[in-house]
């Protein structure tokens, strides 16, 4: 294959000098690799290279650079990098980690079907509103006493994507569903752990790492759940009355089989697409809501302002997504939670589809590229107070909501999150429904000063866990 960096060394991006075998591993903080990358960008600029094991990676930082790559040169940076653990998980199927034509076909189907089942429509909103009322009822049952809220919030969020996938919801106490969600959550932690990252750099040593084995085991259990529920759908399929994502897939599969034998609509693609939607739909939204509630405990004055606006606009009536435009301050807070929380700091790794000259550097085809999302959401040239929680980032001097170009928590370009519209509606409706009914306070014995905003280690980065009191507003 020859050396992909075959051009003269002046042409490709600068970066720290690699050591034999380990590359730049010795300078990486494997618990927070994005932190090391931010430091390196101060030294080497917005486009630089690092080497982890034998893998050469180009890192892109800052809003301007990442927008140029993902939006203006979308096709060039549209491929998904082949990372060992993700390849083992997906085997090239599904949407999140698939490649080429398989990715295009599956993504198109996913977007169309999500829209068919109400993404961005009133019907989906009613489903979310119904789930919000279950969640409020559950929070109410603690009568203002401290409780562990994460499991409950995760189940509520999961019920939305499950209603699309399977056309049903689960009870918050359902032991099987709780187990399933704990597998997904555990994998989000494991995938960002140092040992899994080492395993990606040195796949031959995978057998040494327990975390790698555990992640694969969890994933197999998740897939088994999907397959079992998929069989139920298969048995009850009525082509003229599709009730959920899996039904629609099976109908598509039958139509494809009439035309050709080995199409894309096979069982593996179904299993992987459903698992992708389930994990992405649960993990990012629930982590964002953990941050939202933790930040409200930390900043009671901001919480009070949000509550006042909600009550002024809707009172205690049912909240709808359309109320968002009448609540500029609340909308700004929700956006600022997403920016500040920055729940997928590394982004998912991309890969170049062709050789490209980018920002004066040569980047060969097939090179892993990390468009560092955290560097956009905290870009000092784009945000007045990038490292503070500051809702005024999204308000003008008259207090009206302002869109910001550098707000891209769902990434951008061809690989932008397919469920972005759904996620935004969920975050807004869950957040406002809870704040309409409760004031959130740390458990007795903890003050707001005690709340530490350090992010956890993981592929997604939740805040530290605190018990919370949901004090009813009336």
Give binding residues for heme as ranges.
Answer: 417
Helix, strand, coil percent values for the chain (each to nearest 5): 55, 10, 35
Q: Binding site, residues?
A: 417
Q: What's the rounded Cα separation, in Å, for the pair 217 and 144?
A: 38
Contact 107, 418 (CB under 8 A): yes
What angle separates helix 150-165 from helix 175-191, to the nearest 10 degrees? Answer: 100
Q: What's the rounded Cα separation, in Å, for the pair 200 and 212?
A: 9
Strand segments (E) across 277-396: 350-351, 356-358, 361-363, 368-371
Alpha helix segments (H runs only) across 117-193: 122-140, 150-165, 175-191
Q: What's the rounded Cα separation, in Å, for the pair 95 and 418?
A: 9
Closest CA to 334 of 419, 412, 397, 425: 425
**What are the phi and psi torsion angles at 114 (to 5°)?**
-60, -40
Burial class (CB in 10 A: 0-12, 13-18, 19+), 419: buried
């Amino acid at each position: 294959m020859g050396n992909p960096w075959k051009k003269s060394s002046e042409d490709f991006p600068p970066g720290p000098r690699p050591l034999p075998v380990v590359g730049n591993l010795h300078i990486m903080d494997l618990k927070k690799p994005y932190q090391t990358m931010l430091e390196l960008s101060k030294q080497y600029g917005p486009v630089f290279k690092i080497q982890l094991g034998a893998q050469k990676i180009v890192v892109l930082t800052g809003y301007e650079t990442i927008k140029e790559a993902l939006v203006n040169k979308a096709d060039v940076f549209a491929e998904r990098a082949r990372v060992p653990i993700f390849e083992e998980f997906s085997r090239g199927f599904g949407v999140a980690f698939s490649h080429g034509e398989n990715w295009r076909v599956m993504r198109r189907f996913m977007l169309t079907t999500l829209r068919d089942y109400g993404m961005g429509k009133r019907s989906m909103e009613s489903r979310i509103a119904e789930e919000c009322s279950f969640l409020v009822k559950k929070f109410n049952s603690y009568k203002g006493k401290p409780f562990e809220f994460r499991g409950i919030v995760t189940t509520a969020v999961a019920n939305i994507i499950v209603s699309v996938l399977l056309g049903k919801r689960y009870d918050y106490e359902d032991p099987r569903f709780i187990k399933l969600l704990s597998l997904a959550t555990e994998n989000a932690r494991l995938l960002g752990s140092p040992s899994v990252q080492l395993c990606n750099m040195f796949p031959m040593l995978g057998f040494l790492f327990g975390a790698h084995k555990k992640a694969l085991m969890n994933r197999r259990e998740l897939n088994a759940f999907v397959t079992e529920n998929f069989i139920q759908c298969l048995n009850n399929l009525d082509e003229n009355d599709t009730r959920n994502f899996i039904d629609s897939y099976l109908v598509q599969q039958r139509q494809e089989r009439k035309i050709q034998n080995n199409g894309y609509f096979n069982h593996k693609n179904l299993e992987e697409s459903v698992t992708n939607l389930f994990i992405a739909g649960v993990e990012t939204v629930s982590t964002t809501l953990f941050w939202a509630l933790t930040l409200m405990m930390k900043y009671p004055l901001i919480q009070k302002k949000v509550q006042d606006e909600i009550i002024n606009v809707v009172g205690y009536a049912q909240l709808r997504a359309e109320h968002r435009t009448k609540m500029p301050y609340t909308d700004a807070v929700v956006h600022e939670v997403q920016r500040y929380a920055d729940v997928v700091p590394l982004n998912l790794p991309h890969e170049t589809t062709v050789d490209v000259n980018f920002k004066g550097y040569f980047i060969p085809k097939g090179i892993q590229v990390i468009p560092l999302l955290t560097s956009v959401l905290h870009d000092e040239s784009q945000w007045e107070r990038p490292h503070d929680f500051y809702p005024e980032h999204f308000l003008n001097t008259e207090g009206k909501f302002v869109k910001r170009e550098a707000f891209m928590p769902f990434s951008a370009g061809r690989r932008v999150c397919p469920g972005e519209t759904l996620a935004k509606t969920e975050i807004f409706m869950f957040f406002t429904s809870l704040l309409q009914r409760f004031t959130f306070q740390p458990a007795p014995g903890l003050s707001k000063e005690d709340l530490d905003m350090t992010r956890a280690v993981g592929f997604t980065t939740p805040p530290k866990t605190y018990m919370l009191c949901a004090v009813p507003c009336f």
